[in-house]
Amino acid sequence: MLRRRLFIAGLVFATLAPCAYAQDKSIVVASTTSTQDSGLFGHILPLFKAKTGIEVKVVAQGTGQALDTARRGDADVVFVHAKAQEEKFLAEGFGVKRFPVMYNDFVLIGPKADPAGVKGTKDIVAALKTIKAKAAPFVSRGDRSGTHSAELRLWKVAEIDIAKDKGPWYREIGQGMGAALNTAASMEGYVISDRGTWISFKNKGDLVIAVEGDKRLFNQYGVMLVNPEKHPSVKKELGQAFIDWLISPEGQKAIADYKIDGQQLFYPNANDPSA
Amino acid sequence: MSGFHTAMELVLQGDASLYAIVRLSLLVSLSAVVIAALVGFPFGAWLALTRFPGRDAVIIVLNACMGLPPVVIGLAVFLLLSRSGPLGSWGLLFTPQAMVIAEAILVAPIVAALARQTIEDLWLEYRAELEAMGATPLRRVGALLWDARLSLLTVLLAGFGRAAAEVGAVMIVGGNIDGFTRTMTTAIALETSKGDLPLAMGLGAVLIAIVVAINGVVWGMRSYGERKAG
């Protein structure tokens, strides 16, 4: 009987073993759906690996969820885009230091037919007020992501209490950027997207950029090492090596070089300490 | 249908990353089915042949577990394996092993419940015979499992189907990491969210083709076994 049990244990081990040799030189980076869906990581990570031999495993989640993953110690580095949430994360002692990496901007996407009549305007706050007044369909991420945080901040600036004032026109889908764009495309609604995901998104349908260029649509990305004092499992040296590379001239150039159809998706700004 | 073509091209050209994804999907699903069978067959056989108070309740719960919601199991395994969870020191979260564990938990009740039913039906048929032969309980289980082997193959297929189609749980515990924990289903979810619906659909067609092929192979084995036994 014992032999049989040993045999079974051996079999179980054998089935698990093929995937078991974990690469030593690898880190887990909790990041956002925008960096993954836009294809940025597919462009820069091979460059980083060629230089350092470090494998970066990206788990793409909304910013809120990515920070929670890091809080539990399940990631070595977080690379997200919601400064207020990142500063809270640092204040709680979960992060070591925040480094600004790059920026792009948010855009308001809407159907070509433009039922709210906001296309081509430059004032995002006025546009949101109009959408609300006309009860035009609006898709919200509703997932505590960086883009969702930005959207909520803009409703606040527009002096609209969206939690209270939302009607059936306001659809919270609780999913990633791509899913939100798919939803907006199929129901002819407005949606706030980061420009990177929008440029790389392939199911645009009748959607176009309705509002862009307002400085309140600025979208900053930051990177932090998870605090090894909170979670001893954090791979401190490898994680820091990734951060150092991202903010180095070489990493910054790799980010700037990522283009789709000639359009640059992200603008490096690690040299701006206030970002 | 450009994306659909892309998917077919990837297949025909033997695209390395596509094959890695297919390989991982198969490895994870098959490992989960093997583990589920090692647990599920003995348990199902035992339950089929044993009578005890509360047995009906156990069967009801086991049958209900065939419909365990994958997202909930995914979340439970996630909380167990997270660095802040009880098994955090194993460092298994966001690895293929974590995906095998989650899928094995989903598949085991299916294997156990269907095996229990199959073996119990056989038992009712052959009970007098086996008792007359004076077979020990272990021999009985062995004889019944062997007699039921072709039906149990179908049970394994049901389990494999569940595992191969799974997306919610493996997304949570695997993290859909490129080149490491990305399976066919999570790749399809990712391409959908990138708005590349034709490519997502193309990958879906590849997945369905693989599942059909595996069922074909098993059907062939079954027919061969039947002829030989026949």
Using one digit for the tens of pLDDT, what is the confidence trace for A96-109?
999 999 999 999 99
Q: What is the pLDDT, as a whole number, of residue A16?
A: 52
Q: Which two tokens stand for residue B178?
A: 């490129």
Q: Whole domain around residue B66: which residue ranges?
A: 23-184
The domain that holds B164 is classified in CATH as: 1.10.3720.10
Q: Is residue B109 part of a domain?
A: yes
Residue carrying the six token digits 């649509």: A217
- Residue B199 Cα, gap to closest chain A Cα (Å): 10
Q: Is B228 exposed, middle or buried (0-12, 13-18, 19+ CB in 10 A)?
A: exposed
Provide the domain count of chain B: 1
pLDDT over 70 at A126, yes or no: yes
Residue-wise pLDDT for A64-102, tens only, equals 999 999 999 999 999 999 999 999 999 999 999 999 999
Residue A205 phi, psi (nearest 5): 55, -125
Classify burial at B186, counting beta carbons within 10 Å of its beta carbon; exposed 0-12, middle 13-18, buried 19 or more.
Answer: buried
With a cut of 70, list the residues of chain B below it in pLDDT: 1-3, 230
Q: How much is the average pLDDT of A238-260?
A: 97
Give the residue from A5, A7, A13, A19 with the most B CB atoms within 10 Å of its CB, the best one to mutate: A19
Distances (CA, A) of A96 to A63, A83, A265: 17, 15, 28
Q: Measured between CB atoms, does A146 come within 8 Å of chain B?
A: no
Distance from CA of A19 to the nearest CA of B (A): 6
Inside any domain, residue B46: yes
Q: What is the pTM for the complete model shown?
A: 0.87
> Percent of chain A scored above 90 by pLDDT?
84
- Span A24-103+220-268: which CATH code? 3.40.190.10
User: What's the pLDDT score for residue B213?
Assistant: 95
Q: Both tokens of residue B105?
A: 């938990």
Tens-digit pLDDT profile for residues A156-179: 999 999 999 899 999 999 988 999
Helix axes A146-157, A63-71, angle to 10 degrees: 120
**Nearest beta carbon to residue A182 from set B85, B93, B195:** B195
Phi, psi dihedrals of residue B142, rounded to the nearest 5°:
-60, -50
Six token digits for residue B172: 């949570």
Instruction: Identify whether B211 is part of a domain.
Output: no
Please report residues of A whose CB lies closer than 8 A to that of B24.
19
What's residue A22's pLDDT? 47
User: How far apart are the CA of B227 and the nearest CA of chain A, in angstroms?
Assistant: 30
Whether residue A135 has pLDDT greater than 50: yes
Confidence at residue A5, expressed as pLDDT on a 0 to 100 scale: 53
Nearest to B68 by CA among B132, B202, B159, B141: B159
What does the pLDDT read at residue A14? 52
Rounded to whole angstroms, the Cα distance separating A247 from A259 reads 19
Tokens 């007098």 identify what position? Answer: B128
Task: CATH 3.40.190.10 in chain A: give the residue spans.
Answer: 24-103+220-268, 105-217
Q: Which residue has the higher pLDDT, A23 or B156?
A: B156
pLDDT reported for residue A1: 45
CATH number 3.40.190.10 given to A105-217: yes
Q: Residue A264, exposed/middle/buried by CB under 10 A (0-12, 13-18, 19+)?
A: middle
Task: Tell me what pLDDT residue A3 has.
Answer: 53
pLDDT score recorded for residue B230: 62
Mean pLDDT of all residues in chain B?
A: 92
Domain contains B200: no
Mean pLDDT on A22-37: 86
Least confident stretch, A3-17, A232-246, B69-83, B149-163: A3-17
Give the contacts of B61 (CB within 8 A, at least 6 positions apart).
Answer: none
Q: What's the pLDDT score for residue A18? A: 45
> pLDDT at position B89, please?
92
Reported confidence tier of residue A137, pLDDT bands at 50, 70, 90: very high
A204 in B contact zone (CB under 8 Å)? yes
